[in-house]
Amino acid sequence: MSQEIEHVQCLIIGSGPAGYTAAIYASRADLKPVLYTGMEAGGQLTQTTEVDNFPGYPNGVTGPEMMEDLRKQAERFGTDIRFGYVSSVDFSSLPHKVVVDEVKTITADTVIISTGATAKWLGLPSEQQYNGFGVSACAVCDGFFFKGQDVAIVGAGDTAAEEATYLAKLCKKVYMLVRRDEFRASKAMVHRVLNTANIEVIYNTEAKEVLGNGKNVTGLRTINNQTGEETDLEVEGFFVAIGHKPNTEIFKGWLEMDETGYLKTIPGTTKTNVEGVFACGDVQDHYYRQAVTAAGSGCMAALDAERYLAAKEDEVKVSI
């Protein structure tokens, strides 16, 4: 029996602020987009409790509610939203070929990739138990909720150093756990951390368990990896800053990536190295990683796709 093949003008891979915004713009441009949500419909924000820094929500909103609003808006303009994941791609010729759920083949004139990035976690059961209730992987997103409180952060790179200094402006005390006896961060960032009065760096130390009362974080149990000595820190928040992993496995060999796996785009655009393939959101942004910047790049991707298709149409008319 032959496999079902469907052709679309615009295929969007991944949901979240980037994917849904791309869908809103693409559907309003009459590109009749089909969006596959991935296994986590709505992306990282579905794991976030309060979102206070996205424009248009004066009283704040929960991550899942915001994603539901974006999804409904995309559907209102005609986006065909489907639950499923893309298992492989073939960008060797036009139209592009994409396999969904390992069984269905879709050919697409344009592909917008918004598969995002996943925060790396320590792997502690208590870390996941209190995720969103005192445990966070984004200081810029959640630091405000810990104003005037004591918090801890784990990590030793530039991102961890930057987030620690950001938290220090809001929090009374920031404990920074560094696994080795030195930072991995640049000298400039280390200098900034060491010269911030309310950051206490604790070297050769790892998080052993997040402590809580069943509802919120109340402390953090740490262990010195040289002496084995355990210490309990009284903190209301715990930030994990050990990096993110872009969800780009299926694009390896097809699209250009940096050394950590983020998709490369032509500066000022969402164009990848493959004609008709665009990337937006955290899958190509390891620097800002905010919902609002992801949404903005989703808009850019849809506009880039629309202009690409219009140029192709003009080429056909001229050749005729």
Evaluate whether 167 touches 239 at the Cβ level (below 8 Å).
yes
Residues 126 and 226 in one domain: yes
Q: How confident is the model at residue 1 (pLDDT cuts 50, 70, 90)?
A: very low
Q: CATH number of the domain that 213 lies in? A: 3.50.50.60
Host domain of residue 168:
121-240
Last residue of a domain, one of 207, 240, 273: 240
Identify whether residues 251 and 211 lie together within a single domain.
no
- Same structural domain, 13 and 112: yes
DSSP annotation string for 178-228: -SSSS-SS-HHHHHHHHT-TTEEEE-SEEEEEEEESSSSEEEEEEEETTT-
Give the residue numbers marked as catalytic: 138, 141-142
Identify whether residues 126 and 108 lie together within a single domain. Answer: no
Where among 181, 215, 240 does a domain terminate?
240
How does pLDDT run across 78-129, given as a tens digit for each residue? 999 999 999 999 999 999 999 999 999 999 999 999 999 988 999 999 999 9
State whether 164 and 223 are in the same domain: yes
Question: 101 with 205, same domain?
Answer: no
- pTM metric for this prediction: 0.83
Residue 70, CA distances (Å) to 41, 51, 59, 295 in order: 12, 14, 17, 10
Same-domain check for residues 248 and 112 = yes
Question: Which of 240, 272, 303 delimits the end of a domain?
Answer: 240
Give the chain's mean pLDDT.
94
pLDDT, tens digit (0-9, with 9 covering 90-100), for 116-142: 998 899 999 999 999 999 999 999 889
The radius of gyration of the chain's CA atoms, rounded to the nearest angstrom, is 22
